[in-house]
Amino acid sequence: MKKLITLSFLALASVTVMAQRNATGIPAGPLRAFQNGSSRSVAIDTIGPSSFYSTGANCQITNYVIDTSAGFPGGFTCGDNVYGDKEKAQYFYPGYYWNGGIYGNITVTDVLFLFSQKGLENLVNATSSASIYSATQFPSAGPGASLGTSATLTTNQIDTTGNFTDYHFSTPVAVPGAFFASLVLPVGDTVGLYSSVDGCVEADTLAWEKWSDNSWNPFDLAAASNGWGIEIDMAIFPVLSVTFNAGVLNTADINLHPVFPNPASHEATLNFALRNNRQVTIEVYDMSGKMVASLNEGLMKAGIYNKTIDVNQLSNGVYMVSINAGTSKAISKLTVAH
């Protein structure tokens, strides 16, 4: 049976949905949930598909549902459906520029999902979870070995009002590089994720799904092979904890030495080099994820720089200092001890 879909566009005010299965209404204007990218700190950094931060006219957020014109029962392309799909997964490579150029020792602490709809089937209130899978440098190989699974949530705990639903890993999952983050779908209930529209992607074959036969298949698998035949990104946002050893941290545009002195009592100095002309901001976060200082350096030319940070107003403790240059980010840990 070929997978057939109907497209339901998400507008800022309302959405018309066809063939929904006993689900709550789609929220109005959830674009606010990811307009500004990360809502977490640079120490605990949220990444997501670049299509969800695009301002292009052709990059809209939508909800795909199953075409019922031929009598099929329905369900969601990015969720539970008549085909018995088990998981929906999105590829991530933190070091790639579209994920912010994040480097270091990375663990996944949570995965945030943006759900469009949910439905309790016969009052089941089933459970769902998030999983992390290994991946190669290129997404075309699909998800590999399972690396970890989050705590479960019931369908009643899933948010469909435009806020993220957070699946937490009691033990953070170490990822050596590229990885897949998946939603393990509830059995007995119906949930659906938002996605980008067909063609609004940074790269091909980033979205995958596990079929009822436990095989992994990409969303762009041709309809002739029983696939959807579409290129999309799903509203899946891993939360990363990033640490690194002392020494030089290199990203695509930044070469950053550790903050000095460290600990610092009055001021700390950042020594870094830019490989290209970039708009630069320097941000300081405490370990709860709150930004406590921000410096907009404007356009800086390629070269070597020393920048001083006044820490007199900061309380004793550990902070993360982030230098953002274009799409690259470099991070250094700072301890304040007055």
All domains in the chain, ordered by first residue: 5-242 (no CATH), 246-336 (2.60.40.1930)
**237-286 pLDDT tens trace:** 898 876 654 344 546 678 777 788 888 899 998 888 888 898 999 988 87
pLDDT, residue 142, reads: 94
Between 257 and 35, residue with greater pLDDT: 257
**Does pLDDT of 44 surpass 50?**
no
Between 96 and 71, residue with greater pLDDT: 96
Name the amino acid, one letter, at 70. A
pLDDT, residue 53, reads: 64
Instruction: Out of 34-48, 173-187, 276-290, pick the least confident.
Output: 34-48
pLDDT, residue 151, reads: 96
CA distances from 326 to 8, 94, 255 (A): 34, 15, 14
**291-325 pLDDT tens trace:** 889 999 999 998 888 888 899 999 988 888 888 88
Question: pLDDT grade, residue 150 (50/70/90)?
Answer: very high
pLDDT, residue 169, reads: 95
pLDDT, residue 230, reads: 87
pTM, two decimals, is 0.66
- Sheet of 303-310, strands arranged across: 249-250, 254-256, 267-274, 303-310
Mean pLDDT of 188-208: 87
